[in-house]
Amino acid sequence: MKAIRVEACGGPEQMKLTDVPTPTPRAGEALVRVEAAGVNFIDVYYRIGLYKRDLPMPIGEEGAGVVEAVGDGVTDVKVGERVAWAAATGSYATHVIASAAKLVHVPAGVTSTVAAAAMLQGMTAHYLVMSTFPLAKGQSCVVHAAAGGVGLLLCQLGQRIGAKVIGTVSTREKAEIARAHGASETILYTEADFRDEVMRLTDKKGVDVVYDSVGKTTFDQSLACLRPRGMLVAFGQSSGAVPPMDPLRLSAGGSLYLTRPTLRDYVATREELTMRAGSILAAIAKGELRMTIEPPMALADAAEAHRRLEGRKTVGKVVLVP
């Protein structure tokens, strides 16, 4: 089989396409032929060494494909079934070993490319608005990187709920895309102070919640956008890690809440995993949610995929096709 391996932590050039032995599934595992692999910022964090893993490092956590073999005791999936996942290390490959309990079935009408694009970001958007801060009709939120993969799904889910969604973007083109996906208002953070604009749009009241995947460059102003007892949901750090802060800032801002959630804690059981993934994939199959996907790239172009993602040159999801 062929797989991308990271030879040393660093830039995208450290990812190399190599030949490796095809593994055999052990008890509780499945061997899946990868038809599409999702590219995410967590992959960048592993590649640069922010998150630790032994070298040479397999990379990629998300994808979709067809089960080719199963180990002893596997009953959740069968050979020949189409499945998707968000937690199988080494998904930038032609084949991957996954825990069968972490695989979900792909419904008819959803392609492997769409399923691979939807798993991590779809379930992330789902837990953010349904569980971390359960967004309600009439409430308001700020969505940073509103034209990104999670951002576009948050805009759609927020619109379906009946909330006011204020999206921040870097270009007018991305603003149009965010609006087309449900953003009530958009702010070009390259041209205006987004905190000032949020306060103007909310009559100086602030928003109920900020969903922030950017981190370092947005953190301070995100806190300043909140109404008293509002919540900052810091679920990513594409601009870098947030420096340490004094908790007294939360009381000074109006008894604010701050959380740093991660997907694994919101899919801690198979029941919760299948609930979240099933909800997202079913909504896509029914046409209730739209996935925006960049033209798929070859596995050998993984380095360029990372450059595009880190350079904020993408709209929606980046997918590699073996």
pLDDT bucket at 322, cuts 50 / 70 / 90: very high
* DSSP state letter for 130: I
Where is average pLDDT lowest: 57-61, 85-89, 205-209, 309-313? 309-313
pLDDT at 222: 97
pLDDT digits (tens, 9 = 90+) for 231-271: 999 998 888 889 999 999 999 999 999 999 999 999 999 99
**Domain 136-260 fold:** Rossmann fold (3.40.50)
The radius of gyration of the chain from alpha carbons, rounded to an integer in Å, stands at 20
Q: What is the mean pLDDT of residues 223-238?
A: 95
pLDDT of residue 21: 96
Give the model's confidence band at 148: pLDDT under 50 very low, under 70 low, under 90 confident, else very high. confident
What is the rounded distance in angstroms from the CA atom of residue 214 to the CA atom of residue 209?
Answer: 15
Name the pLDDT band for 292 (thresholds 50, 70, 90): confident
Please give the CATH topology (third level) of the domain spanning 2-119+267-321.
Quinone Oxidoreductase; Chain A, domain 1 (3.90.180)
User: Whole-angstrom Cα distance, residue 10 to residue 114?
Assistant: 29
Q: What average pLDDT does range 143-150 have in this prediction?
A: 92
Predicted confidence (pLDDT) at residue 192 exceeds the cutoff of 80: yes
Cis bond before residue 228 (omega within 30° of 0): no
Q: What gap in Å lies between CA 60 and CA 62, rounded to an integer?
A: 6
Please say if the pLDDT value at position 41 is more than 90.
no
Whole-model pTM?
0.90
- Percent pLDDT > 90 in the chain is 92
Q: How far apart are CA 269 and CA 154, in angstroms?
A: 23
Burial 66-99 (b: 16+ CB within 10 A, else e): ebebbbeebebbeeeebbbbbbbebbbbbbbbbb
Contact 189, 168 (CB under 8 A): yes
Task: For 183-226, give the DSSP string.
Answer: -SEEEETTTS-HHHHHHHHTTT--EEEEEESS-TTTHHHHHHTE
Residue 313: predicted pLDDT: 81
Mean pLDDT of 120-130: 97
Which pLDDT belongs to residue 316?
72
State the average pLDDT over residues 23-50.
Answer: 96
Q: Provide CATH 3.40.50.720 ranges for the chain.
A: 136-260
Residue 315 in this model has a pLDDT that exceeds 80: no
Q: Where are the CATH 3.90.180.10 domain residues in the chain?
A: 2-119+267-321
pLDDT of residue 81: 98
Cβ atoms 275, 281 nearer than 8 A:
no
